[in-house]
Chain A
């Protein structure tokens, strides 16, 4: 569901070519297999999107520590980075975060309207 919100409020609304989305599909549930991930790529259908399938939860574990999560690994999270940010180990700290997790603040819960607005402001500042 979060993927479609991003499609509608970000990809459909912001035609800017300087925007990139990296979607990492992960096996959080028993039915999360590569073939399902391949089907799920349709949920975010745009040439600015790169889709990855990760067979392990290494990346969510890294972000779990970074986001100080206690109960779950980081999934259903939307990490936003301004232009100029480079990769730092173990993972770069996002400039802004949105999520659909119970244990993170409600104020950061995924909101397509707010996300689109923030991204347009970041692009305008470039």
Chain B
């Protein structure tokens, strides 16, 4: 709840004396972003990533691609990206409508927070600037014997650690 209050305060805050911006405002939005739509904080969050590119020429438009882990959507081009000063609007067409994201860049340029809208539903979203160079650990998957002996062995070998066992479906 506290985070939501801070988020709302941040979104509604207006600087008393806005600083003049350069004509080509917005290049700080360019790059790779990772975050989530927060349907219920800490419980129900939909991850997505965003890649934004500034206009390639004067009078051009911003472009972007979005990936959503939950749906399997990968680098889907956005239909609309509008950058204005420290705010951004981006939209993705979906069946029967659009997903709309309206956000604001943090002062340090490292975060975008805002509101996601689809139909009459609104949720906050957050994005953090990341680099794409992170090395994922895909492929490190060990087969577990029927008696789970590999897990038991590791559990006891690492008994000095705080441990979690997660039983999950991959779909």
Contact = CB atoms under 8 A, between A and B. Distances in A.
A10 B151 CA distance: 21
A74 B151 CA distance: 17
Contacts of A87: 152, 155-156
B44 interface: yes
A32 B166 contact: no
Interface size, A (range): 35 or more
A122 B146 CA distance: 31
Interface residues of B, number: 43
Contacts of A77: 166-167
Interface string B54-67: 00000000000000
Contacts of B45: 1, 4-5, 8, 112
Interface in B139-155: 139-144, 146-148, 150-152, 154-155
B156 A53 contact: no
B72 to A, nearest CB: 9
Contacts of A80: 162-164
A42 B138 contact: yes
11 contacts: A2-B168, A3-B168, A21-B164, A26-B167, A38-B141, A43-B69, A51-B137, A53-B141, A81-B155, A87-B155, A119-B162
Interface of A: 1-6, 8-10, 18-26, 28-29, 31-34, 36-47, 49-56, 58-60, 63, 74-87, 92, 94, 109-115, 119, 122-123, 126
